[in-house]
Structure 1
Amino acid sequence: MNIALNITQTFQDWLVGFMPEGAASITAMVIVAVIYLMIFAVAGLYLVLLERRVAAWFQLRLGPNRVGFQGLLQTMADALKLVSKELTGTDRADKFLYNLAPYFVIITSLMALGIFPFTQGFQAFDINIGIFFLIAISSIGVIGILLAGWSSNNKFALIGAMRSGVQTISYELSIGLSLLTMVLLTGSLQLSEIVETQKHGWLIVQGHVPAIIAFMIYMIAGTAETNRAPFDMVEAESELGAGFHTEYSGMKFAYFFLAEFINMFIIACIATTVFFGAWLSPFGITESLPWLGVFWFLLKALILVFLMMWFRWTFPRLRIDQLLSLEWKYLLPINLINIMLMAFLVWQKLTIQF
């Protein structure tokens, strides 16, 4: 059951008065897709700028400060430069797969953005298997990385792609189990229902210690899932040049670059929705001011994005054996014990109620 109308349905209901229902449905989807493409582009560009300013802050530098006020147009200039660059490749590359790979990465990120409830009613699609959909769609993105590495016909790109496969498969387990821990608490996979259960307290508070442990594991595994330092074995500039996208240039390189930052934002959005009440304010005033919910959602998500950036500029890169040991020897066993603790907590709560 949908708790609030999503924006796709809102556009469709409005367009039905001007055209047949089928045409209205398709037109509404196109309008929503354009809106989300704009959000995707702007968010990606300014997350890059935020990363550069955070890095400068940690390293006692100024960062971008010449193009536009306080460097706000720097990433716009970089984007224009990438658009104008020649698309190069290697003669022995598999042309079809080489050209297809960036679109796998960018489309999966865009699809994931579509189901987040940014505020009440501002959600492209509210499906009843939201958490499952997010886990599934994030698994598809790694196909683009594998295709990019293999089709480039470059040994460094292939090594980066194979590392990505190993890393993603490993850390998806911890992401899935940490989210499943919270699904046990809410009893639903639907994001809007998960938000509804938090109107009287965020899940990280309702879930007590198991929720805090789940959040910590989720953030570690989420950072690894996005191939960011200290888990950036996939790119590892000092070893592999640029890793899986070594042979890409221009906008195709920009697709991979933007997708990394959007994936980081997606990881933060999932944590915001599942652990911190999504668009619900800490003061209970979002009900009367629905658009204030967008502010609260983005504030929480950006704080978590900053946390992931903090990881990058604080910890050194792990070796591949350390990366896998962390998951299989530590995070996975802790996750399994934690999910049993949450199940016991939920059972105890149900016993008290009945």
Structure 2
Amino acid sequence: MHLTDTQIFILLTILKIVVVLVITLTSVAYTVLLERKLIGLIQNRWGPSRVGPFGLFQPLADGIKLFLKEDLMPFAVERPLFVLAPIIALGCALVSIAVVPFGNMFVYHGVDLFQISDINIGLLVVLGITSIGVYGIALSGWSSNNKYSLLGSLRASAQVISYELALGLSLVGVVLRSGSLRLRDIVDTQATHGLLSWNIWPQFLGFFIYLMAAYAETNRAPFDLPEAESELVAGYHTEYSSMKFAMFFMAEYANMITVSCVATLLFFGGASSPLGNLLPETFGGPILMHLFPVLWFVFKVFCFLFLYIWVRSTLPRFRYDQLMSFGWKWLLPLSMLNIVGTALVLAFKG
């Protein structure tokens, strides 16, 4: 049977979505294992080592355990919203991966095999979807009918709104330099001279602000006030169990991966090689030519995840007043200063 171009396009698109989704969910599972192993090494202990060689099957065992646990639901919860909250959190965490270009453009039958959706406002899409994710946290706390959950979700809402502003403004300098909101254009402007043309050098202040705000946005230490175990039991997911709890857990790590992808694209040249034009474009033949950019991208994202875990195992949690003060009194003015400075430099250059 001969397939039409439209049918091939639809089949390739569906296949691409499935492959990216499977790889993302597998990455989420093994990011948890990476965190447990690295924190174990930092604290001079083994970490998971029993299930499979070097504990490699531990994420599979944890997934089966959570899937088979009893799904408890307290009587007084607001049932529709209680069920909807983890779906919103995980859905928003996964959808934003759709606009991330994780390799060089390679079009086959009209389908770019290394990006699900190439949108000319890709950066705005990522910021918009990730900001909607806080609804999952807010609804989970309110619908649980639990004081600890409500306090956790209120903290999360205030924290995300506060740091979302600094995070968005920290990226304006990169947009001004590249002149585009399309993620592939931003990567292409950094690809000419390798690491010398990466945005990390002229936009170091913007990168620092982005990194701090990203830690707060993803509720990670030292900004993990919404689920502070020593104060709020488990925060907004206190009443959740089984797969609903697992979905919140997966959403947190999927958000970490998304943040790492965006940082890689905007400040570290995305899938471009740090060697720039020193190597010819056809280096390694047609297969390696398209495989190397993907490997560079994965390596850069891995470095960010390592930094996330290192910070978590090193720094203590902020007090809540320190958290809010840092966001509004330091990061926000600094991000505005970065925009003004970048605009002035570009104006004098032009």
Would you say same fold, with TM above 0.5? Answer: yes
Q: Counterpart in 1 of 2:78?
A: 94
Matching residue of 2:111:
none
RMSD over equivalenced CA pairs, Å: 1.8
User: What secondary structure is seen at the aligned counterpart in 2 of 1:123?
Assistant: coil
Deviation at 1:164, TM superposition (A): 0.5
2:3 to 18, 40, 63: 18
In 2, the alpha carbon distance for the partners of 1:172 and 1:231 equals: 14
Contact 2:167 2:214 survives alignment (8 Å): yes
Q: Hey, what does 1:336 align to over in structure 2?
A: 336
How far 1:203 sits from its partner (Å)? 8.1
**Corresponding residue for residue 179 of structure 1:** 171
2:229 to 210, 225, 237: 237
The structure 2 residue matched to 1:278, chosen from 262, 265, 270, is: 270
Contact between 1:32 and 1:124, CA under 8 Å: does it hold in 2?
Answer: yes
Q: Which among 46, 55, 66 is matched to residue 71 of structure 1?
A: 55
Greater CA drift, 198-207 or 123-132: 198-207
* Aligned equivalent of 1:255: 247
From 47, 61, 82, the counterpart of 2:66: 82
Shift of 1:28: 4.5
| Residue of 118, 125, 143 corresponding to 2:117 | 125
Query: Is 2:167 the partner of 1:168?
Result: no
**What is the distance in 2 between the residues matched to 1:347 and 1:156?**
51
CA–CA distance in structure 2, aligned partners of residues 313 and 59 of structure 1: 8
The gaps in structure 2 that reach 5 residues or longer are 106-113, 283-288
Assess if the C-alpha contact under 8 Å between 1:178 and 1:215 holds in 2: yes
**CA distance, structure 2, for counterparts of residue 203 and residue 158 of structure 1:** 45
Change (3 A) 1:162 1:26: farther
1:60 alignment partner, one of 32, 41, 44: 44
Q: Which residue of 2 aligns with 1:307?
A: 307
Q: Which residue of 2 aligns with 1:33?
A: 17
Cα gap change, 1:202 to 1:20, in 2 (>3 Å) = closer
CA distance in 2 between partners of 1:227 and 1:74 (Å) = 24
Pairing 1:47–2:47 present: no
Mapped to 1, the partners of 2:198 and 2:305 lie a distance apart of: 23
Q: How far did 1:286 drift? A: 8.1
| Residue aligning to 1:292 | 292
What displacement does 1:200 show? 1.6
* One-letter code aligned to 2:281: E
Q: Which amino acid aligns with 2:31?
A: L
Deviation at residue 30 of structure 1 after TM alignment: 3.3
Secondary structure of 2:227's aligned partner:
coil
- Contact 1:203–1:211, Cα closer than 8 Å, also in 2: no
SS in 2 for 1:277: coil
Alignment partners' CA distance in 1, 2:166 and 2:195? 18
Counterpart of 2:161, as a letter, is I
Task: Give the match's secondary structure for 1:198.
Answer: coil
Quote the offset at 1:39 in angstroms.
1.5
Contact 2:194 2:273 in 1 (8 A): no
Are the aligned partners of 1:181 and 1:338 in contact in 2 as well (CA < 8 Å)?
Answer: yes
133-142 vs 196-205, which deviates more? 196-205
User: Identity over the aligned pairs, expressed in percent?
Assistant: 45
Scaled by the length of structure 1, what TM-score is found?
A: 0.90
With over 3 angstroms needed to count, the CA separation of the structure-2 counterparts of 1:202 and 1:317, relative to structure 1, is farther
Is the CA contact (8 Å cut-off) linking 2:70 and 2:241 kept in structure 1? yes
1:228 corresponds to 2:220: yes
Q: Distance in 1 between matches of 2:196 and 2:135?
A: 33
* CA distance 1:204–1:228, change in 2 (3 Å): farther
1:296: Cα distance to partner? 0.4
Residues 1:347 and 2:347 aligned together: yes
Contact 2:271 2:297 survives alignment (8 Å): yes
Quick one: structure 1 residues 90 and 54, their matched pair in 2 at CA, closer, same or farther if it must change by over 3 Å? same
Could you say if the C-alpha distance between residues 147 and 24 of structure 1 is closer, same or farther in structure 2, counting changes exceeding 3 Å? farther
Aligned counterpart in structure 2 of residue 200 of structure 1, from 192, 197, 201 = 192
Aligned counterparts of 1:204 and 1:327: Cα–Cα separation in 2: 30
Contact 1:156 1:241 in 2 (8 A): yes
Q: Deviations over 1:194-238 (max 9, x none)?
A: 111112246885657650111111111101100001100010011
The alpha-carbon distance between structure 1 residues 332 and 78, as it changes in their structure 2 partners (threshold 3 A), is same
Contact 1:36 1:110 survives alignment (8 Å): no
Structure-2 change in CA distance of 1:216 and 1:170 (3 Å): same
Find the aligned partners of 1:203 and 1:148 in 2 and give their Cα distance: 43
- Say yes or no: does 1:139 pair with 2:124: no
- Aligned 8 A contact 2:221 2:312 in 1: yes
